[in-house]
Structure 1
Amino acid sequence: MHIEGYVTAKDYKIPFAKLEDIEKRDTKNKASLVKIYPDEVLEEVIGFGGALTEAAAYNISSLPYEKQGKILKDYFDEKEGLGYKLVRIHMNSCDFSLESYSCDDVEGDIELKYFNIERDKKWVIPLLKRIKELVPDLKILVSPWSPPAWMKTNNDMKYGGKLREEYRKTWAEFFVKFIKAYQDEGIDIWAVTVQNEPMAVQIWESCIYTAEEERDFVKYYLGPALLENGLSHIKILIWDHNKDIIYERVKTVLEDKEASKYVWGVGFHWYAGDHFEQLKKIKEEFPYIKLVFTEGTQEGGVNLGSWKLGERYAHEIIGDFNNYTVGFFDWNIVLDTMGGPNHVKNYCDAPIIVDTEKKEIFYQSSYYYIGHFSKFIKPGSKTIKSETNDSRLEVLSAKTLEGKIIVVIMNKTEENIDVLLDIDDNLYPVPSIKRSIETFIIG
């Protein structure tokens, strides 16, 4: 069998370097074993991507047209970029908008006569159209951070609050209006989440749902609204929040037969820790449900050159996909050097940072680390079981549509490790370079 490998390492300037081009380093360590089980399939992968927030779109749009195209190509081009297939957008504003707004701020407009997406047409939609030229089969996920203020118990898009009961039908129709407005722009929506982080009262746009409220909204309003308007192909994801209490939370919805018939998947974030076992628990009890990582970012602003940033992303991807996850959405795809714009100063990091004044582009380690998965584990590939006897290594394996085996190995230590890949009792010696991520293609 032929084997080729690509590496991105802290000590090497060239990302995705072919392993043949890297000098071999002798180590005194006994070879560590990575065992791959090609016939033990976990899930079919739908792809990788990130969020085109208003902030991200604004940052990209601040650059000269050619540099805008470079960023889009570096993310979405199948051959030269990361091969992203997924994009998440927000319905109404989120913290990574330039200000708070909704698609209908006219109080009491139950029939949504004043609904419009003019704000989205300024930055987000023009870039989505350019992305779709690169990725015709782009999957777009829509998430709301808050209904309009007039629909809420606290009369404010921010600081939590709840959806007023008398506006539940109107809010479900709001989803329909949004999806159809995008269709009119030539942009098809693939899926929606019910509510971003429904347990978090934030100083930015937020809205609280109990598990029972989310169940009933899907069951009586959102699911039927999509069905009645010819949009039953739009997938619904519930939760869209952290993994720490995810099983108990989604169980309430999924155990209800009338509600669960509308639910395709469960979205989750990383902000409360790993809790990978919670994903496994959901899959074992509700095997038809798809698990999707819908958001994760390093909070606290930009840390240019941080190597731990990439390692954090790879740790999450490996843990998630080894526990039945099918897709991965990063948060903002592009932020400025401050980590914004963000209208409540909740600054974060991103794989690509731009200096909007100097018109410079910076690529963080996370860009390359995500790429070691997204460039090689294409949609339609299937994750497969793999394990290692060395706790210093983290491993994810997959089988492509062409039958090739992909093995991604991360080494966060300061030492080189000799590795033996064991596939059907065939052993392949490969190096694992310190502070690196490597992708091996066998077949």
Structure 2
Amino acid sequence: MKYAVPKRSALAVLATATTLVGIGAAVVATASTSVAATTASVWLTTPDRNNLLRQQANVVFDGGGSGSTITVNPATTYQSMVGFGASLTDSAAWNIFNSPQRSSIMNSLFGSGGIGLSWLRQPIGASDYSRNFYTYDDGSADPTLSRFSIAHDNAYILPLVTQARSLNPKLSVMATPWSAPAWMKTNNQLIGGSLSDSNIGVYSDYLVKFVQAYQAAGVPIPYLSVQNEPNFSPPGYPGMLMSAGQQVSIINTLAPKLRAAGLTTKILGYDHNWDDTSYPQTVNNGAGSNVAGSAWHCYGGNPGGQSVVRNAQPSKDIFFTECSGTESANTFADTLWWQGRNLAIGTTRNWARTVTTWNMALNAQQGPVIGSCTNCTGVVTVDGGSVTYNAEYYVLGHLSKFVQPGAVRVDSTGFGQGGIENVAFRNPDGSVALVAINTGGTQSFRVAANGSSFGYTLPAGSMATFTWPGGTSGNPPAGRTGAISGLGGKCLDVTNGSTTNGNLPQMWSCSSGPNQTWTLGTDGTVRALGKCLDLKDSSTADGATVQLWDCFGGPNQRWTYTSGRDLINVASGKCLDVRNNSTADGAQLQSWACTGAANQKWTAPA
């Protein structure tokens, strides 16, 4: 039985989802006292389609339940989430844009009354799911890119992307090329060949121009990869082979050009299957700080490949960026089961910050498509005015409707195939979402959290999301309050006074304003403007990001102020450090092995 089929081959790859958790991924600790939820809300999808993300009766935390126990521990945290979604390919955009149900489809996909998709991966030029092959600079050699234009996308792609962003302002967009313009390649064709090394510079300029053009059209591109599936040369549609060494050279050329253009776009390496863990590690090592991490597809191997790379290189992010379902004898049930366990559960339990399927919408013939899979399925099937929401829609919806951008994955008891496979998240507002799929027969289980529990029975092959309120009780803890000063006499400062989760604090000339007023709480937290100083993803790597986040009292939000004037994070055992020993206004913070140097010394309020 086929669950996910490589668009490159007629052979199915049945990936086995794992529940690997990286060694040293997080440190278990007791958070501050939680509000005991009394009930949990439940949404259910069953393989017979009788329940399609349908809300069920609430369940009560009554201490009951039987069967295996899923214990959710919000104090143990892993990666933060960016979003969940698919791709508005040329074909997908064409299908939606020209449907009389366009408004309804877009609201169902991106609106708060639908599933609120929060992530798009957009092709840069044509892919196999295009009505024709194109790039943004076709024709003879054009090293100055004088012909560059995204006019093709203005007709129906950009209008839908901007509509999606209007429906969900938290949506993020990644962009990926399938091929450079033919004149940049070794074979002078869109199909086959590789990028000529002599054109690495102009290819980098081409990608910068794309990011600039989309930003000017109202679509920022926070993430970018430099080649889709670099280990594969498709025989019937645009693509190009790219060695890990060449990818390193491209990234190291592109990153400075992006910075010089004033763009903050992060570059992701690899963008291919789970079965090659060497390529992404080579790129991460060779590109260093120029690459943010690696992107992954489902057409070979299993999700555990992501953890192999994350455990070897914990400072690098993992993004899951493509997987297409296929038709089978029982397409809906098979896709719900396979994608539920491998994508919703498998990728996220193996560090993925995104979950991405492939085409957002295909027509009744599973196209338009050129030279590729003819039985692949989209999130939605659009046949004129008829619209069908496929299993992909509900798999993504069990995540995106309940797990907000900025949420963090938290610890939950993992079970393998045949059990209640699951993953849990804590949202920025403190609420908890537990996503589960039953990959065995109908079975009862117990969910334990906050010192209580509830029981539930999930039908075979069904998927459910449970949500309940979280947060901490009472007022913030007491503690010493005032400015925290450091290197060069500058003060620790909440950048722009922003309380957005993920805001990066900075060093700034002391002003005694509220954005420089910190409380060293009796619980070990360091707080300003209602947020906590937070070690991102509980990383133990030197150079790990220090950010502001909703307070929950986990070990990555607890700091020890020593008699030697160090601020040491409990999760990592490393010191709060001013990057590059900079005394300039705007200098950034990081976590680093304690050295006793001046850029790690702090004067805290008495």
| TM norm structure 1 | 0.91
Report how far residue 387 of structure 1 moved. 1.6
Q: Which letter does structure 2 place at the counterpart of 1:349? A: T
CA distance, structure 2, for counterparts of residue 354 and residue 209 of structure 1: 35
Contact 1:302–1:339 at 8 Å: present in 2 too?
no
CA distance, structure 2, for counterparts of residue 34 and residue 249 of structure 1: 35
Contact 2:228–2:272 at 8 Å: present in 1 too?
yes
| Number of residue equivalences | 423
Which is bigger in relative contact order (C-alpha 8 A, separation at least 6)? 1
Stretches of structure 1 lacking an aligned partner (at least 5 in a row) = 23-28
Report how far residue 262 of structure 1 moved. 1.1
Contact 2:230–2:242 at 8 Å: present in 1 too?
yes
CA distance, structure 1, for counterparts of residue 198 and residue 106 of structure 2: 42
CA distance, structure 1, for counterparts of residue 420 and residue 438 of structure 2: 5
Report how far residue 398 of structure 1 moved. 1.1
CA distance, structure 2, for counterparts of residue 127 and residue 441 of structure 1: 31
Superposition pairs of residues 313-332 of structure 1, within 5 angstroms: 313-315=339-341, 316-332=343-359
CA distance, structure 2, for counterparts of residue 365 and residue 389 of structure 1: 23
Say if 1:68 and 1:267 are closer, same or farther in 2 by CA, change over 3 A: same
Q: Which residue of 2 aligns with 1:50?
A: 86
Q: Which moved more, 1:366-375 or 1:388-397?
A: 388-397
Q: Which residue of 2 aligns with 1:312?
A: 338
Residue-by-residue CA offset, 1:4-56 (whole Å, 9 max, x unaligned): 2111112452322232299xxxxxx9622212222211111111111010000
Q: Which letter does structure 2 place at the counterpart of 1:255? A: N
Q: Which letter does structure 1 place at the counterpart of 2:107? A: K
Q: Which residue of 1 aligns with 2:95?
A: 59
Aligned with 2:422: secondary structure?
strand
Q: Which moved more, 1:265-274 or 1:345-354?
A: 345-354
CA distance, structure 1, for counterparts of residue 156 and residue 146 of structure 2: 24
Say if 1:438 and 1:269 are closer, same or farther in 2 by CA, change over 3 A: same
1:132 partnered with 2:165: yes
| TM norm structure 2 | 0.67
Report how far residue 346 of structure 1 moved. 2.6
Q: Which moved more, 1:177-186 or 1:117-126?
A: 177-186
CA distance, structure 1, for counterparts of residue 131 and residue 423 of structure 2: 38
74, 82, 107: which one aligns with 2:115 = 82
Report how far residue 158 of structure 1 moved. 0.8
158, 161, 179: which one aligns with 2:191 = 158
Q: Which letter does structure 1 place at the counterpart of 2:271? A: D
1:212 partnered with 2:248: no
CA distance, structure 2, for counterparts of residue 99 and residue 303 of structure 1: 31
Contact 1:32–1:388 at 8 Å: present in 2 too?
no
CA distance, structure 2, for counterparts of residue 139 and residue 298 of structure 1: 23
1:34 partnered with 2:70: yes
Superposition pairs of residues 198-209 of structure 1, within 5 angstroms: 198-203=230-235, 204-209=237-242
Residue-by-residue CA offset, 1:392-421 (whole Å, 9 max, x unaligned): 2211111122222211110133x3211111
CA distance, structure 1, for counterparts of residue 77 and residue 47 of structure 2: 32
Q: Which moved more, 1:318-327 or 1:10-19?
A: 10-19
1:382 partnered with 2:408: yes
Superposition pairs of residues 356-371 of structure 1, within 5 angstroms: 356=384, 359-371=385-397
1:14 partnered with 2:51: yes
Q: Which residue of 2 aligns with 1:243?
A: 274
421, 437, 442: which one aligns with 2:463 = 437
Larger radius of gyration: 2
Say if 1:111 and 1:98 are closer, same or farther in 2 by CA, change over 3 A: same
Contact 2:415–2:422 at 8 Å: present in 1 too?
no
Aligned with 1:344: secondary structure?
coil
CA distance, structure 1, for counterparts of residue 123 and residue 49 of structure 2: 37
Aligned with 1:337: secondary structure?
coil
Residue-by-residue CA offset, 1:190-214 (whole Å, 9 max, x unaligned): 2111100000010211111111111
Contact 1:182–1:189 at 8 Å: present in 2 too?
yes
Q: Which residue of 2 aligns with 1:25?
A: none
Superposition pairs of residues 409-420 of structure 1, within 5 angstroms: 409-413=436-440, 415-420=441-446
Contact 1:322–1:385 at 8 Å: present in 2 too?
no
Contact 1:310–1:367 at 8 Å: present in 2 too?
no
Q: Which residue of 1 aligns with 2:554?
A: none
Superposition pairs of residues 102-251 of structure 1, within 5 angstroms: 102-159=135-192, 161-203=193-235, 204-219=237-252, 221-231=253-263, 233-245=264-276, 247-251=277-281
CA distance, structure 2, for counterparts of residue 262 and residue 61 of structure 1: 37
Superposition pairs of residues 294-313 of structure 1, within 5 angstroms: 294-299=321-326, 306-313=332-339
Aligned with 1:111: secondary structure?
coil
Q: Which moved more, 1:166-175 or 1:131-140?
A: 131-140
263, 283, 300: which one aligns with 2:291 = 263
Q: Which moved more, 1:41-50 or 1:401-410?
A: 401-410
Say if 1:181 and 1:303 are closer, same or farther in 2 by CA, change over 3 A: farther
Q: Which residue of 1 aligns with 2:507?
A: none
Q: Using the aligned pairs only, state the percent identity.
A: 27
Stretches of structure 2 lacking an aligned partner (at least 5 in a row) = 1-36, 60-64, 470-606
Aligned with 1:19: secondary structure?
strand
Residue-by-residue CA offset, 1:230-249 (whole Å, 9 max, x unaligned): 12x1010100000111x211
CA distance, structure 1, for counterparts of residue 329 and residue 114 of structure 2: 23
CA distance, structure 2, for counterparts of residue 37 and residue 137 of structure 1: 27
Q: Which residue of 2 aligns with 1:72?
A: 106
Q: Which letter does structure 2 place at the counterpart of 1:361? A: V
Report how far residue 434 of structure 1 moved. 2.2
Contact 2:270–2:283 at 8 Å: present in 1 too?
no
293, 306, 316: which one aligns with 1:289 = 316
Q: Which letter does structure 2 place at the counterpart of 1:396? A: V
Residue-by-residue CA offset, 1:139-175 (whole Å, 9 max, x unaligned): 111100000111111111112x110112111110001
Aligned with 1:255: secondary structure?
helix
Contact 2:432–2:467 at 8 Å: present in 1 too?
yes
Contact 1:51–1:332 at 8 Å: present in 2 too?
yes
Aligned with 2:186: secondary structure?
coil
Q: Which letter does structure 2 place at the counterpart of 1:163? A: L
404, 422, 436: which one aligns with 2:431 = 404
CA distance, structure 2, for counterparts of residue 167 and residue 303 of structure 1: 47
Report how far residue 302 of structure 1 moved. 8.2
Q: Which residue of 2 aligns with 1:350?
A: 378
CA distance, structure 1, for counterparts of residue 329 and residue 361 of structure 2: 14
Say if 1:189 and 1:218 are closer, same or farther in 2 by CA, change over 3 A: same
CA distance, structure 1, for counterparts of residue 246 and residue 284 of structure 2: 13
1:340 partnered with 2:367: yes
CA distance, structure 2, for counterparts of residue 111 and residue 302 of structure 1: 48
